[in-house]
Structure 1
């Protein structure tokens, strides 16, 4: 797809009409970001009219606060109702949110936190390249946004994989939220992007002919490209432009008063003949823009592996093996890691299918954001790193993916004290709580390698965001009294259903993850008294099976390799109260403070989440009965 010639008179009328509706929306809401919206509308108008309406190529406006400009363009193209946008922008219940919303037709990714959108856009470009669609992906950035570290992570990756189908457009108005770019944080955009391996082009961002020419030049580039659009904040406004020319931040995030805006309303208003001319042109266009996502629906999960009682294995290796199986059966399955492929075991897929494995370097934030973009472009990305990095460094990007309802599979290893000797900086002890608080992400903590195998295959075929929490150390698989693996045979993973390992009538024990083996070993000594249920998800802990058990025993012990004050017990407690479940004796075993370095076995013993510590707690509770 090439850039097509356009009628520049139509483009001028189009941009002017968009400025009017954008301003009307902002003034009506008495809220929004008109300055950057006005400075970007010329190069956006040319981009849509010359290419995007014909190609339906993806565009991510990473500086999502210029949503008035984006919505105005889409409304002018009749993809959305203009009056609805003007009257309901930033109003409760309206899809026309203050920042770009993916669920407005023509918006491919919801943005707001600066830098994350361009990283997601690069993920989309990677997908288009991987699937050989011959399509480009465009991203719009603010100049101040380029101060974000994730922008540099994005640039390094684009250069490494030579994503020449990626074009960045920087709204270079030299003003950011609080002041000018020069006073706030001066950066040399041209030098920075050149250092990242981009072809750097510059352009008058308000000259439509020059804009089209530069787009055509960018289209021929053999490298990722950035166009520095030299613009003026508030361009085209009688009220705002002068401040923009003087690099004043007055109109970054402030609406003109209705009285002050009247001059602009009159200035930007098209004549009846101009309205007719523009409307006739738009009515004749064959607009192909459609941002609806078709997620992969037919995934071959293959056959489950079965690890026996003689296998001493860590769950991360079981993950790597399952990922390899899935990747060999499904080209949509892609793996990303941040310089930890050997530790998180994505290297097992890498050896088998190297073109389905992507190394992002030490760039966890970019990895998670790019995974979001990949998932909205037809891939099923598995992003893996240590739990502490996924949920501390990249939590903001995971949250943005959550808002976008993406299809990202985050699999973290080395979680909890299972990590061992690396110490408190690397022990993920709050990650369950952090990810469980997201609305559209399911947290799963499998109990052993067999359940891990089932979980990985389940999340591959199931649409949605997942966070899978795995430890580091090896331990035996869980078996029944006949020494058969519990999570094999007829077992099917269901996030709503716990697994009852042992029946009892005096105490209910709930556990998940790598403490499951320790809990089972402890509970064996209390047959008929202790009921042990493995609850790999919060929903499985809220199940009828658990409620029935608690109604019977009225006593509860929860065990988890996690902060005991912010783990499964914390999320479960309100649910039990809401269901009038009376607990006579309760204890949550976990980690109560940061731990120093030590072997996993010693750290578990120190925090009483090993077999002996659990047995002591069971004795204490049963001794009260």
Structure 2
């Protein structure tokens, strides 16, 4: 049976024959039994939508070339599941197709420590994207499709979706990006059973579902979602046309069990044991599977797939070194380094994709756009989809860079970046206009929470470069790293940091950036200030003023606030009081990280954080810093008070 399904890769025939139809019907019946068994054994899950979408799952995996043996490769088709609560259908399909043994699955669904979590995760072989809240899957599919296009690979991307999520704004954003980028290698399938958790979709939020897709430029098809022949024909048309396409699969919630069909209550409720036995009898499946599953639930856990982010082989070139006389902002140094990297790699096998949300000149990616037009992806003011598209494209074989204002690229899309973390993507996120250094734009544009937001996650690295020279080196470093990296910069020009006597750049041609390193910019013996990013030059101004008063201040430059070096912190505590100095929320940034570090190291010392304590004003940056009590004179006053 499985061999018949596998013979349909990339639609070798116009229609299915009777043997193939019989194979799909048998597979669907078996998988429905497994769906009910695993959800009843777990006493949890979403059986209704899983039952309605099982034919959609089986056909999609059958016609794709995704198989157990190539599931870790990037030169293949990708399948993204957006309605991740139908995990029982996804897992059943994969088990039936030999990705793993079904006995591993039935007793371990939603079990602590099992890879078969309640919503699909990449820890299961054959799952390409871990879904979170509804509405993100299409954007992930667009990311994979975009990477395949730019890599000149023939891989097709299928996105499986539910009907309730079609009202989500991120879905609309993703549709428009797909059309703009000419992604004829993506097909979406919608389980159109008309039911979501709160009732019927037409009552919860009525919209013209098919018109939404048509208006955005997609080719729309429709089929009977329980007829394998009908699904196959519609999918084949979608696969072969020259446009992004969607197939509405008309289905019935709880299909196959009479008392479950079209009943909203079974969207997210497992059957009781009595209901389970009755349902399995209707399906003609063996209800004794439940007892086997319950016994397995107490046995050893199955192993999942380990997913690791990878770095891709690109040239990053030699850093530019700016002289002390240079007048430059860090974002411009980033832009020049990025353009240089693009120039070195343009036309080579690994694409460097740079995403922009209508801010190219402000975030300094306009020079890259001119040098590498085919790798520059303008997505318009659509940040939610862009965050996911960029993240997923980094899993599909591209080096993905997204530059945006801090409030848009992180604060606004925190959940999308959280899912990028969960999915172990390789996104390089460059945030500009962070902190109070937005100046005249005012409090709505002040990203004063980026440290705290990334501190809540587990895989992101954060770098806040100190001057243009370090920014250049950090940019080249970031694009070679495995995993997600955020580089956060202000808006204003900053002095090029020099060595002690102001002749040569501190971050010269011999400097090598290492994540977590804290640089001692100037030595001192009375107190220490740990200044984050561009605040270093203000700390040096304060140091000069303190020298006149007989106070010797040691200045540390902190560019990695979430990875403070133990030895440096320990040394500073021994010397005397520590001051932290940041253009960030005082309760969630460097200051609190320093206090936590001392606690973890069981060190006792005085820490005085200086940072943002309210939303700032609108005006020139220097005046805003002064009003907030964060200029160099305020630092001097604080140190003398101690």
Is TM (by shorter chain) over 0.5? yes
Deviations 1:19-63 (A, max 9, x none): 111111110110001111111101211222233457941000111
Give the Cα separation in 1 of the matches to 2:122 and 2:500: 51
Please, which of 88, 97, 102 is the counterpart of residue 117 of structure 2? 97
Residue number among 550, 554, 564 corresponding to 1:541 in the alignment: 564
1:602 aligns with 623
Q: How much has 1:509 moved relative to structure 2?
A: 0.6
In structure 1, the partner of 2:313 is 298
TM-score under structure 1 normalisation? Answer: 0.92
The match for 2:247 among 203, 223, 227 is 227
Does the aligned pair in 1 maintain the 2:309–2:425 contact within 8 Å?
no
Say yes or no: does 1:511 pair with 2:534.
Answer: no
Mean CA deviation greater in 80-89 or 95-104: 80-89
Secondary structure at 1:124 match in 2: helix
Closer, same or farther in 2 for the Cα pair 1:303/1:148, shift >3 Å? same
Aligned partner (choices 568, 574, 582) of residue 590 of structure 2: 568
CA deviation map 1:194-225 (0-9, x unaligned): 01100001111011111111111112211100
Q: Counterpart in 1 of 2:302? A: none
Aligned pair partner of 2:58 in 45, 66, 76: 45
Q: CA RMSD in A?
A: 1.8
The match for 1:592 is: 613
1:29 aligns with 2:50: no
* Contact 1:295–1:378 (8 Å) recurs in 2: no
Instruction: Indicate yes or no: 2:14 matched with 1:14.
Output: no
- The 5 Å alignment of 1:364-375 reads 364-375=383-394
- Does residue 551 of the first structure (1) align with residue 574 of the second (2)? yes
Please report how far the alpha carbon of residue 333 of structure 1 lies from its aligned counterpart in structure 2 after TM superposition. Answer: 1.6
CA deviations over 1:489-510 (Å, ceiling 9, x no partner): 3211111210001112221110
Distance, in Å, in 1 between the alignment partners of 2:434 and 2:80 is: 33
Moved more, 563-572 or 376-385: 563-572
Query: Are the counterparts in 2 of residues 4 and 50 from structure 1 also a CA contact under 8 Å?
Result: no
Does the Cα contact within 8 Å between 2:449 and 2:585 map onto a contact in 1? yes
User: Matched residue of 1:420: which SS?
Assistant: helix
CA displacement 1:130-180 (0-9 Å, x = unmatched):
111122101011111011100000011111112111100011111111110
Q: 1:294 to 1:544 in 2, by over 3 A?
A: closer
1:409–1:85 distance in 2 versus 1, CA, 3 Å? same
Contact preservation (8 Å) 1:105, 1:292: no
Q: 2:266 aligns with which of 251, 261, 286?
A: 251
2-structure distance, mates of 1:293, 1:577: 31
CA distance, structure 1, for counterparts of residue 271 and residue 572 of structure 2: 62
The corresponding residue for 2:341 is 326
State the secondary structure of the residue aligned to 1:411.
Answer: strand
Mapped partners of 1:398, 1:457: distance in 2: 22
1:552 is displaced (CA, Å) by 2.2
Conserved 8 A contact 1:336-1:383: yes
TM-fit CA distance, 1:292: 6.8
The aligned counterpart of 1:277 is none
Does the aligned pair in 1 maintain the 2:451–2:561 contact within 8 Å?
A: no
2:604 alignment counterpart: 582
SS of equivalent residue, structure 2 residue 190: strand
Conservation of the 8 A alpha-carbon contact between 1:203 and 1:210: yes
Q: Which residue of 1 aligns with 2:505?
A: 485
Taking the TM superposition and a 5 Å limit, the aligned residue runs for 1:66-85 are 66-85=86-105
Secondary structure of the 1:425 match is helix
2:476 to 453, 457, 460: 457
The match for 1:498 is: 518
2:228 maps to 1:208:
yes
Secondary structure, counterpart of 2:119 in structure 1: coil
Where structure 1 has 5 or more consecutive residues not aligned to the other structure, the ranges are 272-289
Q: Deviations over 1:394-429 (max 9, x none)?
A: 111000000011100111101111100011111111
CA contact (8 A) 1:497 1:543 kept: no
- Measured in 2, the distance between the counterparts of 1:269 and 1:490 equals 73
Aligned equivalents of 1:61 and 1:291: distance in 2? 19
Q: Which of 164, 176, 192 is 2:212 aligned to? A: 192
Say which of 345, 359, 368 aligns to 1:349: 368
| SS state at 2:266 partner | coil
3-state SS of the aligned residue for 1:187?
coil
SS at match of 2:441: coil
Alignment partners' CA distance in 2, 1:336 and 1:297: 18
Separation (CA, whole Å) in 2 of partners of 1:500 and 1:526: 18
- What CA deviation, in whole Å up to 9, does each residue of 1:336-392 have, x standing for no partner? 011101111111100111111101110111111001110110111111111011222
Partner Cα distance (1:13, 1:504) in 2: 77
Given that 1:60 and 1:117 are in contact with CA atoms closer than 8 Å, whether structure 2 keeps it comes out as yes
Contact conserved, 2:170 with 2:384, CA < 8 A, in 1? yes
Q: Is the 8 A contact 2:210 2:220 kept in 1?
A: yes
Q: CA deviation at 1:294?
A: 7.8
2:255 is the counterpart of 1:265: no
SS in 2 for 1:210: helix
TM-score (ref. length: structure 2): 0.90
Name the SS of the counterpart of 2:552 in structure 1. strand
For residues 196 and 94 of structure 1, the distance between their equivalents in structure 2, rounded to whole angstroms, comes to 40
Match of 1:280 in 2: none
- Residue number in structure 1 paired with 2:427: 408
Task: Give the total of aligned pairs.
Answer: 596
In structure 2, C-alpha distance between the alignment counterparts of 1:170 and 1:36, rounded to whole Å? 11
Match of 1:4 in 2: 12
Q: For residues 208 and 378 of structure 1, what CA distance do their matches in structure 2 show? A: 33
- Counterpart Cα distance in 2 of 1:397 and 1:292: 19
